[in-house]
Amino acid sequence: MPENDAGGARTIFTDTGIRRALMRIAHEILERNEDPTNLYLVAIPNGGVPLARQLAANLREIASSEPEVGVLDTTLYRDDLATRSERPALRETVMPAEVDDRIVVLVDDVVKTGRTIRAAMDALMDFGRPRAVQLVGLVDRGHRELPIKIDFVGKNLPTSPGEHVRLLGATGGADGPLEIVVLPEGQSLESARQGGSEAKARTMLGGAA
Amino acid sequence: MIGNDLLGIEDLEREDIQRILDTAVHMAEVSEREVKKVPTLRGRTIVNLFFESSTRTRASFEIAGKRLSADVVNFSPATSSLKKAESILDTARTLDAMDPDCVVVRHAVAGVPKRIAEVLDAPVVNAGDGAHEHPTQALLDLFTVQQEKGRLDGLSIAIVGDILHSRVARSNIYGFTKMGAEVRVAAPPPMIPPSIESLGVKASSSLREALDGADVVMALRIQSERLAGSYIPSIREYANTFGIDRAKLAYAKDDAIVMHPGPVNRGVELSHDLTDDRPSVILDQVRNGVAVRMAVLYLLTGRRPRAVAAPDEGGLVT
Amino acid sequence: MSRILILGGRLLDPASARDETADLLLEGGCIAAAGSDLDSRGAEVIDAAGCWVAPGFVDLHTHLREPGQEHKEDIASGGRSAVAGGFTSLACMANTEPVNDDPATTDYIIDRARQESPARVYPIAAATKGLKGEIMTEMSALMAAGAVAFSDDGKTIMDSGLMRRILEYSRLVEVPVVVHCEDRMLVLDGVVNEGPVSTKLGLPGNPAAAEEVHVSRDVRLAELTGAHLHVAHVSTAGAVKTIREARERGVSITAEATPHHLTLTDAAALDYDTNTKVAPPLRSAADVEACRRGLVDGTIDCVATDHAPHAVHEKDQEYTAAPPGLIGFETAVPVVLDLVRRDEISPLELIRRFSTNPAHIIQRPGGSLADGEPGDVVVIDPNRRWTYDPAKGYSKSRNSPWAGLEMIGRTVATLVEGRLVYHVDRGVLVP
């Protein structure tokens, strides 16, 4: 149910839709991985964080075992640092457990080129040697530039490369309403939508999609 | 905004300082990892150009650069036979021809990093110039205080010692006052620079007055070989009047921390026990120095926009 | 010799207090006549409409570096730069290699100047052998060779007893002893004025007191000995005050100030440009103001450039290591004209301080446009705008804090002994 607001942002995934998708993905993760205690959700900030938290809650509900949730900033591993003049702001990395021999499930909100996922995998390897790495992408925009495949996808969303797709909502907890919006080419999140202070703060930190 | 170089805290805005400190928080996390290395500056070359020897600062920059995967080259003209054969600017031009991505400069004379920055294409980080500035030291001090106190705004900082010859004092005066803290300095009168109040601090020759209610007590190193007999009667007299021990620290707030840029002359600037134990945070300063320098190197080494002359205006377009 | 007619300029002759538009005729190396409708048959004409026509400038404080440091300057290049700035006579300091402390060196300088320099050159001989502050030089012999004054300049004579004897002995030859007043123990390693700027820069400070202590000492010694003391490059308010009081008491004292100490403050050093490093250092705004007032009220007799060339590689060093000094001939006029533009001094009085007073101090001709006086004349366009580029100047060196700046006022023509030696459109017309 796409809708347009004053700023031109188009909502393509509502809170209900997102939570429904995350529940389905939780089931799919359990289907694929028999031992839920070995799971380790690693969120790519900022969008991945509320999604990973929600997924962890879902897994506890289904399998009565809540996996650890880590947060892994990929900024220092980006492949475009040498070509950009402006340095992107760094974000938090919190890895509460060892990754050795764990099934690491990377969680990101929007997957497009695959470059962030490449950076995340490199970063992850510096923390240890996981038994396997799987990937949750809430939205798959296509336009892949690296051979990266999403294991658990929320929604496939054909977009034009110039559009921006953003997750709005709580950055930390899993409680706030979430939504995925599409911004027309050349439109910034600030001009499109003032989604409360949290959304604004995230804008200042910049996206890494 | 942070310019191409980091020559002094004086040139920075409050937002710049905050951005460096925020970045350093994450760099500190990298330093806590088992693999303390990220590929950020892979293939980049950082030159430590140290005309004045300083094992500690140089090592800190070297580790910072290496944790970001840069190639770090140490170049110390002062220790080589080149010393007088080449002017500082020639040395800089020679280096520039090797295309470094960042040059870290330390020199015993104020202003040299600035002059070198005017010649070099690469960003220049001042690692201490004469009695002028030592910006990364101030940044690591700010970082450490922020870590300890949770804020900088509204704090009282007492800086004690040879203010006249201290670049650490000047950079910290700029840094703390820009971040909203109040700075007092205390020293024997010959060690207080003329018109120091013009930098926005309160100067006193009374240790008690300077320490009264202070949240942070920062002692500076006394260059005993140079100063005793001319600026102060003796080291012993200095230690008695301006050396800080637990009794004198009692003038400050109960939860005051003690800092020192190192290396400490034990029993002179700080009593033996204050050097090693809480509330001293000297080793945290050293540790944070790496994180802060990683942040500075990261922020300064973005691809530099090339200046291109606009065909119709002749101005600079970046 | 040829005849030259300077047409339609504003004649400024401090010697006769004349300030009016008139033509000036030079003939036979001398001033021949001033007025209108002069008989100018066969004369080369210099159009001076809108310009000042004044007696050629006399610079009491220059470093021509020859013999010994010809990579910085020599008598030929220094002389050319001087006439391009409007100076027709130069007194040059003794810190050459060898030091000008014996008649042979004085002789050499005068001889070289005769051959090479378009400006007149008057050597100032050393006051002590080798500028070491230990043994007095042979003043009579040096006088006989052509010295016009005695000075150790930058090597301040710290031994007060010796200073007293030098002043006493100078009464025998009746020429001024020129003093660079800086107490070396107070200067120590100071390179910028001690104050907020030195604190900010983190460079060692040089306190105003270092100058004032020695001005006071030397004034007392001049009073004691009755000798003629000339204080070089006054830079502090305290020194101006001490000199003013001494003059009021009747002490035989004269003084000079440089264009830089009259216009630049220590803030000029905030970029660590070593071309702002001079001795004594650039001072506070209050000191600059006091020096200007001193120049205006006559406490300070004259403007002297302290033209001190240094090679680029010598200035391209650490601020502490770079040698002090700047080149000053070609910028003196536009820089000091600031005082006229701000209505602090009249053109006539300014010319008095550039020409008449300094000529008088060294008892040499010049400083007057009266008939029969030497044909040393300068034509200044006080409004001409130009950009100063030391590379296009005549000095061998480029150490100027004014490089690249827009200037107002320029020397248009300079005549020495009735001969045109410089014209702004034709450059220096070498002897």
CA B196 to chain centre: 19
Helix and strand element counts for chain C (H, E): 15, 19
Question: b/e per residue, B170-205, with b = 16+ CB within 10 A?
Answer: bbbbbbbbbbebbbbbbbbeebbbbbbeebebebbb
Best of B87, B129, B137, B168 to mutate (most C CBs within 10 Å, chain C)? B87
Measure A158 CA to nearest chain B CA, in Å.
32
C174 burial via Cβ count (<10 Å: 0-12, 13-18, 19+)? exposed
- Copy the structure tokens of residue B232: 């102060």
- Copy the structure tokens of residue C414: 């300079």
For residue B62, count other CB atoms closer than 10 A to its CB: 19
Three-class SS of C147-179: CCEEEEECCCCCCHHHHHHHHHHHHHHCCCEEE
Asked whether residue A175 is domain-assigned, the answer is: no
List the single range of A128-132, B158-162, B309-313, C426-430 with lowest mean pLDDT: B309-313
Find chain A residues with C-beta within 8 A of B26's C-beta.
Answer: 73, 90-93
Asked whether residue A81 is domain-assigned, the answer is: yes
**Which helix H or strand E contains C233, and what residues bound it?**
none
CA max distance for chain B = 70
Nearest Cα residue in chain A from B39: A77
Secondary-structure percent of chain B, ordered helix, strand, coil, rounded to 5: 40, 15, 40
Q: Which residues contact C100 (CB under 8 A, 6 or more apart)?
A: C94, C106, C109, C123, C124, C125, C126, C147
Mean pLDDT of chain C: 97
Nearest-by-Cβ selection for C272 from B114, B131, B198: B114
Task: Report whether pLDDT(B241) > 90.
Answer: yes
Asked whether residue A83 is domain-assigned, the answer is: yes
Fold of B135-284: Rossmann fold (3.40.50)
pLDDT of residue B37: 95
Task: Report whether pLDDT(C182) > 70.
Answer: yes
Beta bridge partners of C149: C124
User: Is B129's Cβ below 8 Å from some Cβ in C?
Assistant: yes
- A197 pLDDT band (50/70/90 cuts)? very low
**Cis bond upstream, residue C67 (ω within 30):** yes
Q: What is the pLDDT of residues B255-290, one digit of tens each?
A: 999 999 989 999 999 999 999 889 999 999 999 999
Structural domains of chain A, count:
1
Best of B91, B114, B115 to mutate (most C CBs within 10 Å, chain C)? B115
Asked whether residue A1 is domain-assigned, the answer is: no
Enumerate the domain spans of chain C.
Answer: 3-53+373-428, 55-361
Check: CB of residue A167 under 8 Å from CB of residue A153. no
- C166 pLDDT band (50/70/90 cuts)? very high
Q: How far apart are CA C125 and CA C142, in angstroms?
A: 7
pLDDT of residue A191: 57
Q: What is the pLDDT of residues C390-419, one digit of tens each?
A: 999 999 999 999 999 999 999 999 999 999
pTM higher than 0.80, yes or no? Answer: yes
Check: CB of residue C110 under 8 Å from CB of residue C119. no
Asked whether residue A62 is domain-assigned, the answer is: yes
**How many Cα neighbours within 13 Å face the side chain of B56?**
13
Task: Report whether pLDDT(A203) > 60.
Answer: no
Indicate yes or no: CB of C199 within 8 angstroms of CB of B199: yes
- A199 pLDDT band (50/70/90 cuts)? very low
User: Is C196's Cβ below 8 Å from some Cβ in B?
Assistant: yes
Q: How far apart are CA B80 and CA B51, in angstroms?
A: 10
Indicate yes or no: CB of B129 within 8 angstroms of CB of C196: no
| Chains B and C lie in contact, requiring 3 or more CB pairs less than 8 Å apart | yes
Task: Report whether pLDDT(C1) > 70.
Answer: no
Which amino acid, one-letter code, is at B223? Q
Q: What is the pLDDT of residues C356-389, one digit of tens each?
A: 999 999 999 999 999 999 999 999 999 999 999 9
Measure B303 CA to nearest chain A CA, in Å.
4
CATH number, domain with residue A27: 3.40.50.2020
Indicate yes or no: CB of C201 within 8 angstroms of CB of B167: no
Indicate yes or no: CB of B38 within 8 angstroms of CB of A89: no
Fold of B9-132+286-301: Rossmann fold (3.40.50)
Q: What is the pLDDT of residues C12-42, one digit of tens each?
A: 999 999 999 999 999 999 999 999 998 888 8
Q: How far apart are CA A184 and CA A163, in angstroms?
A: 5
Best of A83, A87, A91 to mutate (most B CBs within 10 Å, chain B)? A87
Angle at C390 between CA C387 and CA C394, to 5 degrees: 115
pLDDT of residue C127: 98
pLDDT of residue A86: 86
Instruction: Please say if C59 is a catalytic residue.
Output: no
Q: How far apart are CA C256 and CA C235, in angstroms?
A: 10
| Chains C and A lie in contact, requiring 3 or more CB pairs less than 8 Å apart | no
Q: How far apart are CA C292 and CA C289, in angstroms?
A: 5
Active-site residues of B, by number, are: 56-57, 84, 106, 134
Asked whether residue A144 is domain-assigned, the answer is: yes
Q: Which of C153, C306, C376, C381 is catalytic?
A: C306
- Those chains having 3 or more beta-carbon pairs within 8 angstroms of chain A are B
Measure B45 CA to nearest chain A CA, in Å.
13
Enumerate the domain spans of chain B.
Answer: 9-132+286-301, 135-284
Q: Which residues contact C370 (CB under 8 A, 6 or more apart)?
A: C13, C15, C16, C31
C391: DSSP letter: G
Average pLDDT over residues C56-74: 97
User: Is C383's Cβ below 8 Å from some Cβ in B?
Assistant: no
Tell how strand A164-168 and strand A152-156 pair up. unpaired
**Three-class secondary structure of residue C393 per DSSP:** coil
Q: How far apart are CA A205 and CA A88, in angstroms?
A: 8
Q: What ipTM describes this predicted complex? A: 0.90
Q: How many residues does this entry show for chain B?
A: 318
Asked whether residue A189 is domain-assigned, the answer is: no
Mean pLDDT of chain A: 84
Check: CB of residue C242 under 8 Å from CB of residue C282. no
Q: How far apart are CA B282 and CA B56, in angstroms?
A: 13
CA B12 to chain centre: 14
Distances (CA, A) of C154 to A137, A205, C181: 78, 60, 8
CATH architecture of C55-361: Alpha-Beta Barrel (3.20)
Q: Which residues contact C38 (CB under 8 A, 6 or more apart)?
A: C5, C23, C25
- A7 pLDDT band (50/70/90 cuts)? low
> What would the DSSP string read from start to end of A46-70?
TTHHHHHHHHHHHHHHHHS-PPEEE
**Cis bond upstream, residue A147 (ω within 30):** no
Find chain C residues with C-beta within 8 A of B133's C-beta.
Answer: 202
Nearest to A172 by CA among A98, A79, A91: A91
CA A185 to chain centre: 21
Residue span of the structural domain in which A86 resides = 17-159
Domain C3-53+373-428 - what CATH class?
A: mainly beta
pLDDT of residue A195: 42
Task: Report whether pLDDT(A196) > 80.
Answer: no
Nearest Cα residue in chain B from A73: B26
Task: Report whether pLDDT(B79) > 60.
Answer: no
**Which helix H or strand E contains B160, and what residues bound it?**
strand B156-160
Average pLDDT over residues B21-44: 95
List the single range of A29-38, A99-108, C222-231 with lowest mean pLDDT: A29-38
Find chain B residues with C-beta within 8 A of C321's C-beta.
Answer: 109
Under an 8 Å CB criterion, which residues of A touch B? 73, 76-77, 81-87, 89-93, 122-123, 126-128
Two domains, one topology: B9-132+286-301 and B135-284: yes
- B174 pLDDT band (50/70/90 cuts)? very high
- Those chains having 3 or more beta-carbon pairs within 8 angstroms of chain B are A, C
- Copy the structure tokens of residue B292: 């802060």
Indicate yes or no: CB of B304 within 8 angstroms of CB of A77: no
Q: How far apart are CA B43 and CA A138, in angstroms?
A: 35
Nearest Cα residue in chain C from B134: C202
Nearest Cα residue in chain A from B305: A85
Q: How far apart are CA A176 and CA A172, in angstroms?
A: 9
Indicate yes or no: CB of A85 within 8 angstroms of CB of B304: yes
Is the four-CA dihedral C202, C399, C350, C214 of positive or negative sign? positive
User: Is B304's Cβ below 8 Å from some Cβ in A?
Assistant: yes
Check: CB of residue A49 under 8 Å from CB of residue A172. yes
Q: How far apart are the first and last CA of chain A?
A: 24
Task: Report whether pLDDT(B33) > 90.
Answer: yes
Measure A99 CA to nearest chain B CA, in Å.
12
C29 burial via Cβ count (<10 Å: 0-12, 13-18, 19+)? middle
Nearest-by-Cβ selection for B87 from C201, C272, C316: C316
pLDDT of residue B302: 83
